[in-house]
Amino acid sequence: QQQVKQSPQSLIVQKGGISIINCAYENTAFDYFPWYQQFPGKGPALLIAIRPDVSEKKEGRFTISFNKSAKQFSLHIMDSQPGDSATYFCAASMRGNTPLVFGKGTRLSVIA
């Protein structure tokens, strides 16, 4: 049972374009939704996260949009740069620091 479904598996975006990665979850008890970024040969690192009391969170060029009723959240990367080329994972967990449940990842390639 996959609790967090992520799409697309891979994404190619032109430099300066907008990258959009979507995730859907099933467990309504989830209340913490982070996105992790992973470069080749490295461990994942937290990029940005949101809680369901807000519908959007923005940090620089990265924005999470959250739709509680649809049980979906997405990552938007504005003005995508070649340095953003990485694998992105969405995740979810419940209050109390229960372990994160990860999506399968999206490999983003930003081409010049």
Partner 1 sequence: NAGVTQTPKFRILKIGQSMTLQCAQDMNHNYMYWYRQDPGMGLKLIYYSVGAGITDKGEVPNGYNVSRSTTEYFPLRLELAAPSQTSVYFCASSYFLAGKTPFKGTDTQYFGPGTRLTVL
Q: Which of 95, 110, 86 is nearest to 29 (CA)?
A: 95
Residue pair 91/4 in contact (Cβ under 8 Å)? The answer is: yes
Residues numbered 14-73 forming contacts with partner 1, rule: CB under 8 A: 32, 34, 41-46, 49, 51
* Cα separation, 84 vs 10, whole angstroms: 13
Query: Rounded to the nearest whole angstrom, what is the least distance from the CB of residue 67 to partner 1 in the complex?
Result: 20
Nearer to partner 1, 61 or 104 (CB): 104
Widest Cα–Cα separation across the chain: 43
Binding segment for partner 1 (CB under 8 A), chosen from 13-21, 63-71, 74-82, 99-107, is: 99-107
Which residues contact partner 1 (rule: CB under 8 A)?
6, 9, 32, 34, 41-46, 49, 51, 89, 93, 95-97, 99-100, 102-105
